[in-house]
Structure 1
């Protein structure tokens, strides 16, 4: 039989005389050791043999000091008297499960946890639960993915419920070199592995990769070469447009109009707005077949000038661009066909083009999920602060309107995507620079590696004051607060890496020691 209250470790004691259920202070028995992050429990004050779980958040020591003790310490003769030290701990409530048998069988869901809201008894005994009970408490009874091991004893695994994660999304933050990218690519691996190999489904993941780090060997081997495709952003053509205003601006440029206010340029604009189709292609052939007849019919005065410019464009276009380009419709087809489509921005120098392409792809994916109930997609965006910055933040695109349009599309997916089949996984090293709409929405499941200064302030807004502890976390450790976990309070976790980002070798150090 599982022992619930495995070992008594102390008693609830409040020096102020106030005892509240949401946070308890207890005095630790002699010989016992308590650390921040430990899960402990008390007996429910009115339900027989039901444990109420708490997580330790502070471990102060109270010492009954005497006036002369500091003087002795200054003289190098400190009075060492362990009997006057009183180790204490403060713990925040996790909750309890009313059906004890269900808890012990490991069949409880996140919704089975109930909060204790009645009086607790002063000097109640505090216990360390058995490992089996803690494991049953932590693991969801629905499909879940493993994230890592929980501090401080590293005995217990931290899980995220997969259905809830897909309904809410994910935010991973951390400074350079803290393990942020490793965490993101590991979680992508685990989600894909779970759906492919255990649930026998077929996921679709679109990775938007600023630095070309997500094409790990393990991830490719997991899905197979025939289910993974790597695409450089510059190999995607902007020939297809959904936004008419953007299409017009590009079309006017292709036709070589020096003045947008000229009569022929205005005729082109009006003809595009009058066109009845949904998609617009930025090619001479499409323009000649679909738009030019409208101009000939309704804007005849400008027709000859426009035809002359079209013929020049056709000659330039016939020279080719030096290589085949993928259409946006091709990319959408790949996203629906492959498990992983990896879009790589590491070689681009035209970020206006890159942002326009990303905006179009994201819109197509979102729209496809709305119209096709059998299609869903995870969109994983690395360094998302560059694509969805707070107003006035950093953008790699020089055109503010292009940047704003991409940000708005990401906002749309963050707020309405999960319930419509598109889930965002966001990673950023600068959470203070990313749009608050994103961090507020995605902060339901946040994994925070070490951050500092203003970035720490943003994380504290999401997690609470306890987030300041991330400043001392080693590489690969993170503080996690997740509604997709059965424990809603922040826990420190050592991420169990399954794969790693590919080394790009672009730092000055890598170049200094390169032998080539």
Structure 2
């Protein structure tokens, strides 16, 4: 066994740099995680090394390497504690292995381990050249999102096919640069695939500013979402106001009347099997008339109450200007084809992303609107299976709103469809991107369906524990760094990367950034002037908007 600090034999030296001395040895091997013993003096001497990767080697979150059967085995340092006589005991997770040529250079890195080292094997620092070989992007389609920590020039790459085919999640507390980072990822995907098909649900109206040049922007003024696209469950969420047994009775009446409205005046022989869920246009006046007609058939006045409730709610929706984008009389024609073509970018004409700003949608129906949009994505994918495939990516910002842990209460239709996409979407070519600042509030299992996790700083212990449970074992050393990440830094692990990496995101051009920057109180509170005009214009918009 070599002593710490002893030089590696000449066969291991690279031609370009002097060989590095061993900094420790393997103590215990246990599957994915093992223990190594490091020499504290050797680690200390490395800290002034000109290579930043060597200077970091042996620290928590850094990598070390060891020789096994002519290959370099790369491990990530998870935890460290003081041992005896100036030694440091570290837990490591094995990440993968690469070929070691005659000069000692690492190449052809691959994830996974075929052979483990034996106790007393030497542990060596990892160089920037090693990291370059480890993180070198293959020929698979990929996007570069930033630089790998602690280097200045090694690019962090996300592989698009594995990332999208198995869903992804972007997590991070408020103020960590999450929105800008999401915009960066979507911009890079759009540049790689200008004929792509991406739908983004934007609850705060942040992303329209970022994609006005390369996306189609929708809001309550131009969305024109036909009410008849809603399925029966979504109709119930909008039209029913009761609970318990009364709600069930109201739902039975609505089902009967809705089916009659969908089939009224239609040639059923051309439509096939029609159900209350079929997206067949119908007139609100027809539904209203059928409700009134059914109510007229009843003998006792008491029986008319459920019909009265439905009719009153329907009249409210038709009269309320806030609902014009969905319950306008202009939405009766069969516009389903043109609506799907615009929303899904078919064809995309070089604008592959649709930003659907739901910030202007009345809060009572926001979850139903998101449910309809998400279900359109999934149902289109199912019913177009026999056609040329056009995979779709659905990105959902503030995902904890729509897929909450709580299984009761309002908005269950959107929860069910997003859970179904998470479980089954990949079979049909539907990818789901979840963005949230509260992963602990997400429904159980949804995060674990995401094959790639991009985690920015999370300040809450529950959120950190939730991410830890969803990430693979080999990323644990990186996870401990999550509370210490700077703004616009992230840990990426899972299918979209070769091995877990810590990345600093690239800066995004100002015109491509979302409108989500925090105001500077100190600067803005020094400005003054035109307060009366600001108030008058604000009140006019406020009143005119109808929210």
Q: CA deviation at 1:365?
A: 1.1
Contact 1:212 1:504 in 2 (8 A): no
Identify if the C-alpha distance between structure 1 residues 98 and 31 changes in structure 2 by more than 3 Å, giving closer, same or farther: closer
Q: Of residues 499, 507, 513 in structure 2, which corresponds to 1:500? A: 513
Aligned 1:212-231 pairs, distance under 5 A = 212-217=205-210, 219-221=211-213, 223=214, 227-231=215-219
Q: CA deviation at 1:19?
A: 5.0
Identify if the C-alpha distance between structure 1 residues 146 and 249 changes in structure 2 by more than 3 Å, giving closer, same or farther: closer
Task: Tell me the matched-pair count.
Answer: 455
Aligned to 1:482: 494
Q: CA deviation at 1:281?
A: 4.5
- Asked if residue 135 in structure 1 is aligned to residue 123 in structure 2, the reply is no
Aligned to 2:228: 240
Aligned 1:359-398 pairs, distance under 5 A = 359-373=371-385, 374-391=389-406
- Asked if residue 8 in structure 1 is aligned to residue 34 in structure 2, the reply is no
Aligned to 1:340: 353
Counterpart CA distance in 1 for 2:464 and 2:191 is: 32
Aligned to 2:93: 92
What do residues 300-335 of structure 1 show as CA deviations (whole Å, max 9, x unaligned)? 9369x9999999999999989499636583543312
What do residues 102-130 of structure 1 show as CA deviations (whole Å, max 9, x unaligned)? x989776xxx4340444425142525345
Aligned to 1:189: 187
Counterpart CA distance in 1 for 2:344 and 2:137 is: 30
Q: CA deviation at 1:4?
A: 9.8
Q: Of residues 13, 21, 31 in structure 1, which corresponds to 2:45? A: 31
Aligned 1:292-371 pairs, distance under 5 A = 292=290, 301=297, 321=321, 325=325, 329=336, 331-337=339-345, 338=348, 339-348=352-361, 350-371=362-383
Q: CA deviation at 1:501?
A: 2.0
Counterpart CA distance in 2 for 1:414 and 1:96 is: 32
Counterpart CA distance in 2 for 1:62 and 1:105 is: 31
- Asked if residue 284 in structure 1 is aligned to residue 308 in structure 2, the reply is no
Identify if the C-alpha distance between structure 1 residues 107 and 346 changes in structure 2 by more than 3 Å, giving closer, same or farther: same
What do residues 431-483 of structure 1 show as CA deviations (whole Å, max 9, x unaligned)? 11111221111264332323222222212222365423311222112222222
Q: Which moved more, 1:27-36 or 1:324-333?
A: 324-333
Counterpart CA distance in 2 for 1:157 and 1:346 is: 36
Counterpart CA distance in 1 for 2:206 and 2:161 is: 27
Q: Secondary structure at 1:136's aligned position in 2?
A: helix
Aligned to 2:540: none
Identify if the C-alpha distance between structure 1 residues 267 and 130 changes in structure 2 by more than 3 Å, giving closer, same or farther: closer
Contact 1:11 1:123 in 2 (8 A): no
Counterpart CA distance in 2 for 1:387 and 1:261 is: 24
TM-score by length of 1: 0.73
Q: Of residues 159, 168, 171 in structure 2, which corresponds to 1:170? A: 168
Aligned to 2:52: none
Identify if the C-alpha distance between structure 1 residues 193 and 300 changes in structure 2 by more than 3 Å, giving closer, same or farther: same
Contact 1:268 1:295 in 2 (8 A): no
Counterpart CA distance in 1 for 2:502 and 2:136 is: 16
Counterpart CA distance in 2 for 1:266 and 1:19 is: 63
Q: For structure 1, which runs of at least 5 residues remain unmatched after alignment? A: 65-84, 197-201, 254-258, 393-399
Q: Of residues 406, 418, 441 in structure 2, which corresponds to 1:410? A: 418
Contact 2:168 2:453 in 1 (8 A): yes
Q: CA deviation at 1:137?
A: 2.1
Contact 1:19 1:122 in 2 (8 A): no
Q: Secondary structure at 2:200's aligned position in 1?
A: strand
Identify if the C-alpha distance between structure 1 residues 180 and 98 changes in structure 2 by more than 3 Å, giving closer, same or farther: same
Q: Secondary structure at 1:160's aligned position in 2?
A: strand
TM-score by length of 2: 0.70
Contact 2:36 2:90 in 1 (8 A): yes
Aligned to 1:157: 155
Identify if the C-alpha distance between structure 1 residues 99 and 266 changes in structure 2 by more than 3 Å, giving closer, same or farther: same
Aligned to 1:40: 64
- Asked if residue 272 in structure 1 is aligned to residue 287 in structure 2, the reply is no
Aligned to 1:208: 201
Aligned to 1:79: none
Counterpart CA distance in 2 for 1:154 and 1:180 is: 22
Counterpart CA distance in 2 for 1:90 and 1:476 is: 28
Give the RMSD, CA atoms, in angstroms: 4.4
Q: Secondary structure at 2:439's aligned position in 1?
A: coil
Q: Secondary structure at 1:56's aligned position in 2?
A: strand
Q: CA deviation at 1:23?
A: 2.7
Counterpart CA distance in 1 for 2:403 and 2:311 is: 40
Identify if the C-alpha distance between structure 1 residues 31 and 333 changes in structure 2 by more than 3 Å, giving closer, same or farther: same
Q: Of residues 439, 451, 459 in structure 2, which corresponds to 1:431? A: 439
Counterpart CA distance in 1 for 2:313 and 2:173 is: 47
Q: Secondary structure at 1:502's aligned position in 2?
A: coil
What do residues 18-60 of structure 1 show as CA deviations (whole Å, max 9, x unaligned)? 455743514343732342333332222x3x3x22222233455
Contact 1:209 1:382 in 2 (8 A): yes
Q: Which moved more, 1:26-35 or 1:153-162?
A: 26-35
